[in-house]
Amino acid sequence: MSLGKIIDKKNYDLSKRIDKQKVPEHVAIIMDGNGRWATKRNLPRTYGHKRGVEVLKEILKASKKLGCRILTVYAFSTENWTRPTKEVEFLINLFSEVLKNEIEEIHEESTKIKFIGDLTPFPETLKKIISSSESLTKNNNKFLLNVCVNYGGRQEIVKVAKELVLKCSSGDIKINEVNEELFNSELLTRGIKDPELLIRTSGEKRISNFLLWQLAYSEIYISDVLWPDFNEFEFLKAIIDYQSRHRRFGGIESLEDESFEDSQYSS
């Protein structure tokens, strides 16, 4: 699929800077800044989450167009339960609504959707929609969308440790057989390649308990843009930045003089 033109205010086509041979296969995103975006506009925080869904749809489209294969987004962390009940309820309803409205299109585009995290505390209605969406799309193979809900990286690592201890004590495996590969095979993301790139929006420079094991070698790109203002253009900036780092680390001819600066192409 052709990328098409992604033009900035100075009429610069960003898509021309993308090296199609070096597109990350797996991109992880911490979609941060919904609440601040809304508060800045004197709107309830929930408006930021609603707008955030539209942005997620745009970025999903953009990553497919670019040739990525996997997108993993942080939609609800284990810490998010501490938010006001109304906001938590809103988010839970939003997940159900989005799934109901979008699952047909997701399926038609041969995208597989997977929810990663402990679904136990969610209402039965949401669990049912999640389960039917996952089973409807389970054989799709063009693209994988992982949605992390009630997910925490430390909790995931503890869970794997427990599974391995159990297997050791029951004699299924020997302690000296425990290695990274075996550990990987017990992760919630088992079988999925680690993300080459992590994008976090809203300028925060933290991993916030997201994919702690899987992000060990990922490139990290922090965007100052709040998630509801993020778009295809900002996404391409992240990809170009990622590609420039790889070119340097790979020892291929440096493109330092073309290095990508936010100020130069800010939208």
Q: Taking CB under 6 A as the rule, does residue 52 contact ligand FPP?
A: yes
Out of 14, 26, 28, 33, the only residue in the binding site for ligand FPP (CB under 6 A) is 33
| The one catalytic residue among 8, 13, 32, 262 | 32
Closest to ligand FPP by CB, 94 or 182:
94
246 phi-psi bin (left φ>0, alpha ψ -120 to 50, beta other): alpha
Q: Taking CB under 6 A as the rule, does residue 56 contact ligand FPP?
A: yes
Q: Taking CB under 6 A as the rule, does residue 75 contact ligand FPP?
A: yes
Is 257 in the active site?
A: no
Q: Taking CB under 6 A as the rule, does residue 127 contact ligand FPP?
A: no
Is 32 in the active site?
A: yes
Q: Which residue is nearest to ligand FPP (CB)?
A: 35
Q: In whole angstroms, how close is the CB of 214 to ligand FPP at the nearest point?
A: 18
Place of tokens 């201890």: 165
For residues 227 and 201, the answer to whether their CB atoms sit within 8 Å is: yes
Beta-bridge mates of residue 12: none
Closest to ligand FPP by CB, 15 or 63:
63
Distance CA 120, CA 211 (A): 19
What letter would DSSP give residue 195?
A: P
Q: Taking CB under 6 A as the rule, does residue 35 contact ligand FPP?
A: yes
For residues 149 and 119, the answer to whether their CB atoms sit within 8 Å is: yes
Distance CA 137, CA 145 (A): 10
List of E strands, 39-180: 70-77, 111-116, 143-151
Helix, strand, coil % over all residues of the chain, rounded to 5: 50, 15, 35
3-class state of residue 199 by DSSP: strand
| The one catalytic residue among 11, 34, 80, 141 | 80
Q: Which of residues 166-225 bind ligand FPP (CB under 6 A)?
A: 202
Distance CA 119, CA 76 (A): 11
Q: In whole angstroms, how close is the CB of 264 to ligand FPP at the nearest point?
A: 27
Q: Taking CB under 6 A as the rule, does residue 243 contact ligand FPP?
A: no
Closest to ligand FPP by CB, 17 or 49:
49
Q: Taking CB under 6 A as the rule, does residue 130 contact ligand FPP?
A: no
Q: Taking CB under 6 A as the rule, does residue 49 contact ligand FPP?
A: yes
Distance CA 209, CA 226 (A): 19
Closest to ligand FPP by CB, 99 or 198:
99
The upper half-sphere exposure of residue 163, i.e. CA atoms within 13 Å in the direction of its Cβ, equals 14
Q: Taking CB under 6 A as the rule, does residue 6 contact ligand FPP?
A: no
Binding residues for ligand FPP, rule: CB under 6 A, are 31-36, 49, 52-53, 56, 75, 80, 91, 94-95, 98-99, 147, 202
Q: Which residues are catalytic?
A: 32, 80
